[in-house]
Structure formats: structure tokens, C-alpha cells
Amino acid sequence: MNHTEKRKPNLFLYWGVFAAVVILLASLAAYFLISSHLQSQSRLEKLQQSVESQIDQRLKIEVNDATRFVLHEYQMSEQILKQEAKDQVRQALAVARGIYGQFHERLPETEVQQLIVEALRDVRFFNGRGYIFIGDADGVSILLPTAPQLEGTSLIDLKDDQGRFFVRRFHEIVNSPAGAGFSRYRWYAPGEQQVMREKITYVEKFEPYNWTFGGGDYLFQIQQDQQRKVLEHLENIHFGRDGYITVLDRKGFVLSGQGVKSFTGMHYSQLYDPQDRESVAALLEAIENEGFLRKDWYSGDGRLQQNQQLYVKPLPVWDWVLLAGAYSDGNLQYLNSERILLDQQQGRANGQLLISLLLVLTVMLIITRYYARWIREAFRVYQHDLDSQHETLLNSARSLQISDRIVEAAHEGIMLTDVDNRIIRINASFTRITGFEFDEVQGRSPGMLSSGHHDSAFYRDMWQELQDKGEWQGEIWNRRKNGTLYPQALSITCYRDEAGEVKNYIGTFTDISQRKAIEQELEHMAQSDSLTDLPNRRVLMERIDHELAVVRRHSSRQLAVIYLDLDHFKEINDTYGHGIGDQVLITVARRLNDTVREVDLVSRLGGDEFVVFVAHHDTDELEIALAHLAERIIDSVAEPFMVAGEELCLTTSLGIAVAPSDSRDKDQLLEFADLALYQAKQQGRNGYQFFALWMAEKQAERRLADGSPILPATHDLD
């Protein structure tokens, strides 16, 4: 065989092996391409299911939150009606008592009554619907602004469509021990003279004339007022990029919704566009129970979107239906971006694979047999790299989902800024607390929330601590979108990279308005007398202690303590009861506050005992000023009290001790004022006494004679 013939089997074998290698490589390439495509599709499907599940959960949460708000406001209608009716009637009673107290001794009774009636005739509330009516003990109408022609006639036999004599019920209520209360009945609403509606009225007795004062409103009208408030609230709810709440009436009216603003207040049959009429009608027909459904509906900008995932919920009140949709939710855009990214990565991977195959084929033309093992190993490594990339992408997607879910679910407001302190991310709680949407704060400094409550030194110290320690925590006042100021507990963390360079600032905060209000209320309760709202003993002793320290530093200054109680006060409690006694104490407290200077302090120690603390006076004026003040207090208390229609007169006795001449000790100063009070009562009451040393000596002698310990004087001679 010649040389050419010897090479033929080798060539056939070479090309046969090469063809087998090419077919094998092509098969492997096809397998990797298909496997990569299937894995990418599977990963995208799982990611899509996760995103859609999050969106569905978000829609359900938003609708359920809105439902709870609607039901709460519906339930509050009756309470609002009762409270407003009660307040208005009591204000009317206060006006009547004021007129009666001013004129009943100077004018005939009929003229005083007419003054009261005319003063209340034009009183209106509940958006002009509510009014004050007056009737006497026999059911005769004294004041009826809506039907003045009935004034002077008896309404005692009026009854509603359920047979209730509601005027008689008014009399039962005002003649009960409480003397006031609420009554439910039905009556014709304005403009509806054929149908009675439920009405709630508050009535209370005016004792001087045994009149019945009343006022109220129809429950359905209060609920209509609440509906407007609820619809305004629901229209301001936004979530995601353009998610919102739509409110429909089962009768076919469009009540509220960002994307249906052009339809608001209209019945779907009134819509001009036939497509709009069909969309609203089809949605109402499909609603049976709470749940998800797919229908054409409107995005936040008013454009009709095809086959949208919606969550609907019929409400048990007002015949409303709530629905919410995601439309262009940020998670859906994130899913689309991930799909594009995976397609690009797969395209690059496929291109790399084809290039590798060409290189391998070129090498195989020369050394197929020698590099077959190397080729197999190369493909194994390549497959491993693909799997690693896929796993990395999956982990990244999962981490992003978890992080986003944590941030959005957090109850605290969260704000992320860049190194230049410009806002780049917020969560839903940030919007809920501040009222600002992301597009309103993006790229802006958090200083836009500043309240002006803190000076520049406060913020300078905050940033210094943040740079030194990497974090700052504290309380700060900020401003909401509507302009109101509120306190918040704020925590700021500085995030740095591996090189120690600042990359971001992360702020988390909560609204602590309610906690602050509770703290202030508790502080007030701890420092005030529960009956008269005067400062209690603790506040008095702290003030005396502070002022005594000032007196020690300034020898030209003096202060005084006036200890007083009411003469024969026990007889008022025994005769009229403790309720009337409490009203007398409240009036005395008010008169004392009106008598003293603003710098002085009036305190109630308990029972009918009061202490007036007189702040610094020049030494040569104090005794004269105290005598004048004591006389003014006696005159003020002696003014007549009107109690249960009767006029009462009281007197008071006062004891006065001066620092530092009598004592430099706060407890002893009160004790000496108490001894002076005792002496004033011994002198016949309705007067005052300055403390003198012989009073303490006499008290000590009296105690030693009785075998008792030396204690402060007992001045309760009632």
C-alpha cells in the first residue's frame, strides 16, 4: 500500500472520532442550554409565585385594616351623638343658671324665664340640625325652635311609631335620682314626614323652675357625618406604587377611590363611557363573598387595567364593598427586572458556551484523542460554575425578599440615607407616621422633618456622637406632613464598609405621643388635689423648701404661710350631703386662687383645710400686706353660695406664720400657722391671728397637763 492508501483508514478513523466528538459536544451543549433554560424558568416561576403571594397578602391586610377602621367609626357614631348632645345641653344649663343667678332677684320671674328662652332659641349644633328644647313639669312646651307654634301647648301625649310616650319618659329621667340621662325614641326626620327614624336625646332638669332641658339628633344623620370622615380617610390610603382602596355601594354608586375620582358620587348607570359602565357593573355582579377575583379595574392614574388581581370585602354596615388592587406594584417591577437580568445572564452564558465549543472543536482537529479528558473536565467545571451562579442568584433573590419583607412589616418607621444624608429608602410605617410618601422625600435631607423645637447645638451634639460611636439614640420632636409636631423615639446607626468608610445612615423611630401624654397626666395627678385641682401637700412643701433656701441667701426677704379652714363646714356635709360639700370646696378653692397674687400658691391639705403660701415680700411691708390679704380671703369666702336652690353663707378662720422670724423650718412653720389658726377659732372664728411664741408655750403647757405628747394644735372645733 502506498502512503496515501495507508492514511485513509487513519483519516476515516480520525474524522469518525472527530465527528463523534462533535456530536457528543453538540449533545452536551444542547443539554446544558436546555438545563440552564429550565432552571431559570423554574426559578422565575417560584419567584413570581412568591411575589404574587406577597401582593395578595398585602391587599388582604390593607382591606382588613380599612374594614376595622370603618367598623370602629360606625360604632363610634352613637357615642359621638351622646357626648355632643350632653355637652350642648349642659352648656345651655350653664347659660340658664347664669341668667337666673344674675336677674332672679332683680326682675319678675316671667321676665327671667323669657330671657333664658330667648338666649337659647338660636343655639344650633350637629351642623345646624340640633337645637335646645325646654318643657315644664306638666309637659307644656316652653321652647321648641323647630315648631314655635307649639310653644305653650302640652306635648305629654306624643308617642312614636312603636307606642313610646317619649315626653313622659323625659320626665321620668329628670325626676330620677340622677336628674339627667339619655332617651331613645323615633320621630320624623327633617324632610321625611312619612317615616320615623331613631333619635337619641339627652335631658336634664333645671331646678329653679323644674324645667326639662334637652337636645339630640337622629342616629342615621350622625352616621352620614361619619361616612364622609371615613371616605376621606380611605381615599388617603396608599400602598405600593399605586395601590389604593376603592369603596362601592352595593346599589351601584362609586363612593371613593384614587383611580375612580372622576366617577365619585355617581351611579354606574350614569357613566358616559360604555366601557366604564360595563366594568363597574361586571365587578358588582361578581362580588358575592370576601376574597380574590380577577377583573378589569382602574390603576391609580385612572387608566383601566385588564385582568387585575383584586381583593374584595363586603361590609356588614352601610351596604359598602371595599376592594384593593396592586396594579403596578414595586414587587412586580422587581420581578420583571429579575427576569430581564436572568435573560441577559443566560444569553452571556450561552455565548460563552458557544465560544468554548468553537475553541474546543478547533483544538479537536489537531489533538482530539489527547485532550478528550481535559474537555470533559472543562465541561464539568463549567457546569459547576453555572450551578454556582444559579445558586448565588437564588440566594440573592431570597435575601432581597426577606429584607424587603422585614422592612415593610416593621411597626417602626425606617429611613435609609446615603453618605450625603439624602433619603434613598423608607418603609410603609414611615409614611403612616409622617404622612410623607417616598416620592415626596426621595433625595431630600431628613432635616425637612425638623420641628424647630431643637437648637443647632442639639443637632451638632447628635452628629458628633454619631461620628464617634457609630450610633445615636434619644427622643426628638419632628413635624408631620400636615404640620403637626409630635415626639418620637429615634435611633440612628452609621453603616460603614470594610474600609471604615461611611456608606449609609439608617434611622428607625416610633411615635411616642401617647406615652408622653400619659406621663404628663400622671405627673399632674401626683401633684394635684383630686377634688379641687389645687397643688397638693407635696407640691406645697417643695415650694416652701425652695423659697426658704432663697430667704436664707437674702436676709431682706420674708415669706408667710396662711393656714385656714371653713367654720362649721361639717354642718354642710351633714345637712346637704358630701356632694354639695365638695361643690362648696371647689368654689372656695376658685375664690382663693382669684384672691391671691400669681406668684403665691394655694394648696388643699385635705377636708376643708387650705394653705396659702405667700412668696417673697420686703420685710417692712409683709405684716400689713398679710393683714390685707387675710381680710380679702375672709370677705371672699363670706360671699353667699347658691346650693340646691338655697343661699348659704360661710366664714373662715386663718392662722399666719412668717419666715424667718417665726421659724426657718418648713414643718415648724406649718405647725405655727396651725397654732395661730387654733387661736383665731378660740377668739370667735371669722378672723385671723398672727403666730406668737406664747401660743406654742401655751400649747405645750396644755399637752403636759393632759399627759399627751406635744403635738400641733387641733383646730377642728366644729
What is the per-residue pLDDT across 425-472, written as a single tens digit (0 to 9) for each? 998 889 999 999 999 999 999 988 888 888 888 889 889 988 888 899
Residue 716: per-residue pLDDT: 45
The pLDDT-based confidence of 409 (bands split at 50, 70, 90) is: confident
Residue 711: per-residue pLDDT: 45
CA atoms within 13 A on the CB side of 544: 27
Alpha-helical regions (H) of 410-455: 428-434, 438-441
Is residue 326's pLDDT more than 60? yes
Which residue has better confidence, 132 or 339? 132
Span 274-289, pLDDT tens digits: 877 788 888 888 787 7
Residue 183: per-residue pLDDT: 92
Residue 470: per-residue pLDDT: 85
Global confidence as pTM:
0.39
d(CA 464, CA 29): 60
H-helix or E-strand spanning residue 198: strand 192-206
Residue 622: per-residue pLDDT: 84
Per-residue pLDDT, averaged over 330-350, amounts to 66
d(CA 277, CA 271): 6
89-223 and 410-517, same CATH topology: yes
Is residue 713's pLDDT more than 50? no
Which residue has better confidence, 623 or 211? 211
Instruction: Please tell me whether residue 42 adopts helix, strand or coil conformation.
Output: helix
d(CA 422, CA 418): 5
Query: What CATH topology corresponds to 89-223?
Result: Beta-Lactamase (3.30.450)
The CATH architecture to which 528-706 belongs is 2-Layer Sandwich (3.30)
Span 71-91, pLDDT tens digits: 888 878 888 889 999 999 999
Span 120-166, pLDDT tens digits: 999 998 888 889 999 998 999 999 998 899 999 999 999 998 989 99
H-helix or E-strand spanning residue 78: helix 3-103
Residue 710: per-residue pLDDT: 46
Secondary structure letter of residue 130 according to DSSP: B
What single letter denotes the amino acid at residue 660? P
Per-residue pLDDT, averaged over 315-320, amounts to 82
H-helix or E-strand spanning residue 296: strand 291-298
Q: Which CATH superfamily is domain 237-328 in?
A: PAS domain (3.30.450.20)
What single letter denotes the amino acid at residue 66? A
Is the backbone of residue 65 left (phi > 0), alpha (psi -120 to 50) or beta?
alpha
Is residue 314's pLDDT more than 60? yes
Span 513-572, pLDDT tens digits: 888 777 777 667 677 788 898 999 999 999 999 999 888 888 778 899 999 999 989 988
| Range from 376-390, 495-509, 670-684 that averages highest in pLDDT | 670-684
Contact 257, 247 (CB under 8 A): yes
Per-residue pLDDT, averaged over 176-184, amounts to 92
Minimum mean pLDDT range among 196-200, 245-249, 660-664? 245-249
Query: What CATH topology corresponds to 410-517?
Result: Beta-Lactamase (3.30.450)
Domain boundaries, the chain: 89-223, 237-328, 410-517, 528-706
Which residue has better confidence, 407 or 561? 561
Which residue has better confidence, 100 or 383? 100
Measured over the CA atoms of residue 336, residue 338, residue 344 and residue 347, the dihedral's sign is negative
